[in-house]
Amino acid sequence: MVKSEISRGTFKIYKADVFDIEELSHLWLNMIYEVVPSPNPRVDWWKSYIEEFMKNDLYHCYYAEIDDKVVGFMDAMLYPYPITGKLYAQCMHTYVLPEYRPNATFVLYKKVLNEGRKHKVDAFELNCFDPTKSFWEKHGMKCFGYHMRKDL
Q: Which stretches of the chain score pLDDT less than 70?
A: 1-9
* pLDDT at residue number 149: 80
Q: How far apart are CA 121 and CA 89, in angstroms?
A: 7
Share of the chain above pLDDT 70, in %: 94
* pLDDT at residue number 23: 97
Contact between 106 and 140 (Cβ < 8 Å):
no
- 18-22 long-range CB contacts below 8 Å, 24 or more apart? 18/51, 18/54, 20/61, 20/63, 20/70, 21/47, 21/50, 21/51, 21/54, 22/47
Specify the pTM.
0.87
